[in-house]
Amino acid sequence: MNKNIKLEKGDIITYKYSKGLEPRTTTVQGWWSGWTVKDLEYRCNYKVLKVARQQTIYEFKEILDEKEKEYLSAVIRPFKGRVDYIKKFDITSKEFIRIYLKNDEDIDFPYFKKGTMYKGMKLDKKYTLKELGLD
């Protein structure tokens, strides 16, 4: 879905201010008209979940589920400011995630059965804490 499509008056936006809060829905009024989903997320710190017209033009999908976020948040808390990015790797029938720190250190997590955890993460893609909702 394209985050650069311009919003039009009457579009319906479903958004969250931050994690843990219930989603809210609003209709685009004059001053939001012409903005893009990217503009909304950047300027308003909203997590835009969905913009609807006759069809959905953008839908945000969470990468991590709530339990995964809760676990990773707790684990990285002592060195959160030093995290550069997080990646998921595939080794034969197992997978694992690795946290890369800014000082060229990294932390490997235990292996897990392929397709059972961190399903929203793509293999070998660098994810920032913000992308994962951990900032």
DSSP string across 8-56: -TT-EEEEESSTTSPPEEEE--GGGTT-BHHHHHHHH--EEEEEESSSE
Q: Extract the tokens encoding 70.
A: 């809760």
* pTM > 0.75: no
Tokens of 31: 């001053």
Tokens of 43: 């300027």
CA distance 90 to 71: 20
For residues 111, 112, 114 and 120, what is the CA-based torsion angle, rounded to 10 degrees?
Answer: -100
Q: Which of 26, 28, 31 is nearest to 15 (CA)?
A: 26
Looking at residue 53, its amino acid is: R
Q: What is the chain's pLDDT, residue by residue, as a tens digit (135 residues)?
A: 577 878 877 788 777 766 667 777 777 777 777 788 778 776 666 666 666 665 666 666 788 888 999 999 999 999 888 999 999 999 888 999 999 999 888 999 999 999 899 998 999 999 999 888 887
